[in-house]
């Protein structure tokens, strides 16, 4: 069953002795074949594949190279012309190809086959090489937005292929919902190549819309701070919250003394976003520094009431909830004293810092992102 393929690789290898290294072939199928050899990207080096004495099979080698250029450009690498010949052969023979695509929650499973052995062998050859292009980020067809986007995310694509008697069974998956959409869109394009051949290959293909349009009815929720800073969950949107994020929120915005400071409400929203705005909760470290017009929002009830003639401090309840959720709360000692307040008058769960300056500088040095909530 490998004869046609081995022949085609022998032809390729012989024709390319100058400039191409013989390389090992890393693939699912190779485990059952003999000594692996094949044509690779220039500069690639590798050991011969391990064999069990079975029939040998050529295949792609792996290695750095492509004339020293990095990924990202539509490079005319050493495989470019051979790959183009294979595309053209497949497109010319598209009517002899049958293909089914099963969408999985995290990608696709595709079966692409032909009753004509030569076509079946070319499908297998194509997929092996495209697998290498994905693994090594060797882009191709970069004028087509969908393909260009796929090659930006190769590190998040898992591709497994297994030859069948008449072609190849491929599973392509990703843990990233945006990349899952790309994989599924690409599988549809390949099906278009099979149905319409060159007519489809001449077209460009758009990147699927990931702007959250597929989001189920967006119901505002408060995953971690009840009654404040509600959010909607966007599990498929770009830029999901990352585990381990550190954020320093710099609050200088003042408010009416009898009302909750809107900047503190915003901090609650940030916590809710990390707790439930994305596909899954991401634990972060949050710190807040109060200074400027926000300084006195941190006073205890007695001190606040005395200063503003209110019945307690309207910010304390939410500040306490933030504290309970692990948010570190600081007030600038310099501003506090300049506003005739004392560290003893600050709510007990809020720390007085030497200054906002030192908090910002120290926490930025510790890797915190700095967000300003000013006027």
Distance CA 24, CA 4 (A): 20
Residue 329 · residue 288 · CB < 8 Å:
yes
Of the two residues 180 and 331, which places its CB atom closer to ligand HEM in the complex? 180
Distance CA 371, CA 375 (A): 13
Q: Taking the complex as a whole, how short is the minimal distance between the CB of residue 24 and ligand HEM, in angstroms?
A: 21
- Cβ-Cβ contacts under 8 Å for 274 (sequence gap 6 or more): 241, 245, 281, 282, 283, 284
Of the two residues 170 and 224, which places its CB atom closer to ligand HEM in the complex? 170
Of the two residues 152 and 266, which places its CB atom closer to ligand HEM in the complex? 152
Q: Taking the complex as a whole, how short is the minimal distance between the CB of residue 53 and ligand HEM, in angstroms?
A: 30
Q: Taking the complex as a whole, how short is the minimal distance between the CB of residue 34 and ligand HEM, in angstroms?
A: 25
Give the residue carrying structure tokens 């976003």: 273
Q: Taking the complex as a whole, how short is the minimal distance between the CB of residue 128 and ligand HEM, in angstroms?
A: 10
Q: Which residue ranges make up the site for ligand HEM (CB under 6 A)?
A: 87, 90-91, 94, 97, 108, 110, 112, 123, 126-127, 130, 133-134, 140-141, 147, 150, 168, 170, 172, 183, 186-187, 190, 193-194, 201
Q: Taking the complex as a whole, how short is the minimal distance between the CB of residue 264 and ligand HEM, in angstroms?
A: 46
Of the two residues 156 and 246, which places its CB atom closer to ligand HEM in the complex? 156
The upper half-sphere exposure of residue 21, i.e. CA atoms within 13 Å in the direction of its Cβ, equals 18
Give the CA dihedral 154, 155, 157, 162, nearest 10 degrees. Answer: 90
Kindly give the pairing relationship between strand 57-58 and strand 351-353: unpaired
3-state secondary structure of 88: helix
Q: Taking the complex as a whole, how short is the minimal distance between the CB of residue 197 and ligand HEM, in angstroms?
A: 7
Alpha-carbon 161 to chain mean position: 23
Q: Which residues pair with 285 in a beta bridge?
A: 246
* Token output for 64: 């750095």
Distance CA 346, CA 296 (A): 8
Of the two residues 2 and 368, which places its CB atom closer to ligand HEM in the complex? 2
| H or E element in which residue 130 lies | helix 117-136
Q: Taking the complex as a whole, how short is the minimal distance between the CB of residue 134 and ligand HEM, in angstroms?
A: 5
Indicate the residue whose CB is closest to ligand HEM: 110
Residue 334 · residue 353 · CB < 8 Å:
no
Of the two residues 99 and 291, which places its CB atom closer to ligand HEM in the complex? 99
Distance CA 200, CA 193 (A): 5
Q: Taking the complex as a whole, how short is the minimal distance between the CB of residue 162 and ligand HEM, in angstroms?
A: 12
Of the two residues 4 and 201, which places its CB atom closer to ligand HEM in the complex? 201
Q: Taking the complex as a whole, how short is the minimal distance between the CB of residue 167 and ligand HEM, in angstroms?
A: 8
Of the two residues 168 and 303, which places its CB atom closer to ligand HEM in the complex? 168
3-state secondary structure of 372: strand
Distance CA 25, CA 22 (A): 9
Q: Which residues pair with 328 in a beta bridge?
A: 287
Of the two residues 60 and 284, which places its CB atom closer to ligand HEM in the complex? 60
């Amino acid at each position: 069953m490998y004869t046609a393929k081995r022949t085609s690789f022998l032809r390729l290898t012989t024709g390319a002795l100058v400039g191409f290294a013989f390389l090992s072939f890393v693939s699912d199928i190779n485990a059952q074949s003999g000594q692996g050899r094949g044509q690779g990207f220039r500069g690639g080096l590798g050991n011969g594949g391990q064999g069990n004495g079975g029939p040998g099979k050529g295949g792609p080698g792996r290695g750095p190279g492509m004339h020293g250029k990095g990924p990202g450009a539509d490079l005319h690498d050493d495989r470019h012309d051979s790959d183009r010949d294979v595309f053209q052969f497949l497109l010319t023979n598209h009517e002899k190809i049958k293909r089914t695509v099963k969408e999985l929650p995290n990608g696709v499973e595709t079966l692409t086959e032909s009753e004509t052995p030569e076509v079946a062998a070319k499908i297998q050859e194509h997929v092996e090489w495209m697998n290498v292009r994905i693994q090594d980020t060797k882009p191709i067809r970069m004028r087509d937005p969908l393909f260009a986007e796929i090659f930006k995310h190769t590190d998040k694509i898992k591709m497994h292929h297994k030859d069948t008697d008449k072609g190849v069974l491929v599973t392509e998956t990703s843990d990233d919902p945006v990349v899952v959409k790309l994989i599924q869109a690409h599988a549809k394009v390949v099906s278009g190549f099979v149905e319409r051949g060159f007519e489809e290959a001449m077209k460009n293909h758009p990147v699927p819309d990931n702007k959250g349009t597929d989001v189920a009815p967006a119901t505002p929720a408060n995953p971690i701070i009840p009654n404040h800073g509600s959010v909607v969950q966007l599990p498929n949107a770009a830029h999901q919250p990352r585990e381990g994020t550190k954020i320093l929120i710099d609050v200088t915005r003042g408010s009416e003394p009898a009302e909750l400071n809107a900047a503190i409400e915003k901090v609650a929203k940030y916590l809710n976003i990390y707790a439930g705005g994305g596909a899954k909760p991401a634990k972060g470290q949050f710190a807040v520094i109060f200074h400027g017009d926000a300084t006195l929002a941190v006073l205890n009830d007695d001190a606040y009431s005395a200063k503003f003639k209110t019945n307690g401090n309207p910010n304390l309840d939410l500040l306490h909830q933030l504290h309970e959720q692990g948010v570190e709360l600081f007030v600038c000692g310099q501003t506090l004293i300049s506003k005739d307040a004392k560290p003893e008058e600050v709510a007990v769960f809020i720390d007085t810092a030497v200054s906002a300056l030192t908090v910002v500088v120290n926490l930025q040095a510790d890797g915190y992102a700095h967000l300003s909530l000013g006027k």
